[in-house]
Amino acid sequence: ENKHVGTVEDIYETLIVNKFDRNDMLLALGGGVTGDITGFAAATYLRGIDFVQVPTTLLSQVDSSIGGKTGVDFKAYKNMVGAFYMPKLVYMNLSTLNSLPEREYLEGMGEIIKHGLIRDKEYFYWLKENKDKIISRDYETVKKMIFVSCNIKRVVVENDPKEKGERAVLNFGHTIGHAVEKAKNFSLLHGECVAIGMAAATYISLKKGNIAEEEYNEINNVISDFKLPVYTTGILASDVVKATKNDKKMDSGVIKFITLEENGHAIIDRTISEELLLEATETVIRG
């Protein structure tokens, strides 16, 4: 409810009244919403001042704080206003994770599992094997997990900082995930919606003949093992597909959909039909 232009306007006013100039900086202490808003304000105030990310949630530590994407929602449209603007520093203190309720901690696993699926099959299986330690927040295990996850995102972003090509693979699970998030009126957490979106995208990968049914079931089981949903209820699949048309990942009217070429390697696919998109969406919306 705070990730909108009005919040950024309040920050601008505070900075102006307190005479912040180009030598000043902003510090984003909090989760992904805090980081996105702060980064966008920093990118646009006086045409750009420094900012530092101090992410305090698992989701923001492995995802939004890395890569320089900043932005806010516009009305009901997610992340439609923003800028690519790198922080001067990202500092993570893992003790902050102990302050999170389990649901908010584990939503970060949506993005972490995604990293394994799109670029590192061995990491995916390491997550599977270390499930209990990760869920119990074992410090050394979590530290290793965050390091590997951030490194995967770092490599992808450095290869394509402005999302002209390869960086789009980081959107695996997000096209349907964002649409579900909106259709559910943000009652589900972002990582939970990404998990549902990954389940649908994995189904499309199965139907395209890229992965076997055994792998499809395994991926869904791993998502579920981390207490994340692979389906939801109370909305219409047709509404979700319609919402994907407003997604910022559209390219000349065609969705750049991310599928798995195999477990551990994602690709950009512009050939997904609306029929297959609806069929996949119906597998994750029940009742």
pLDDT tens for the chain, residues 1 to 287: 889 999 999 999 999 999 999 999 999 999 999 999 999 999 999 999 999 999 999 999 999 999 999 999 888 777 889 999 999 999 999 999 999 999 999 999 999 999 999 999 999 999 999 999 999 999 999 999 999 999 999 999 999 998 889 999 999 999 999 999 999 999 999 999 999 999 999 999 999 999 999 999 999 999 999 999 999 999 999 999 999 887 655 666 677 899 999 999 999 999 999 999 999 999 999 97
Is 285:240 a contact under the CB 8 Å cutoff?
Answer: yes
- 103 labelled catalytic: no
- 19 labelled catalytic: no
- 4 labelled catalytic: no
**CA-based torsion, 279, 180, 152, 253: positive or negative:** positive
What are the structure tokens assigned to 274, written together?
């609306």
> Could you say which of 111, 114, 220, 256 is catalytic?
111
> Could you say which of 47, 75, 162, 164 is catalytic?
47
- 133 labelled catalytic: no
Answer yes or no: CATH 3.10.20.90 is held by domain 1-100: no
> Could you say which of 153, 210, 220, 256 is catalytic?
153
Answer yes or no: CATH 1.10.3430.10 is held by domain 102-287: no
Cα separation of 178 and 155, whole Å?
Answer: 24
CATH 3.40.50.1970 residue ranges in the chain?
Answer: 1-100
CATH 1.20.1090.10 residue ranges in the chain?
Answer: 102-287
> Could you say which of 79, 115, 119, 171 is catalytic?
171
End-to-end CA distance of the chain: 28
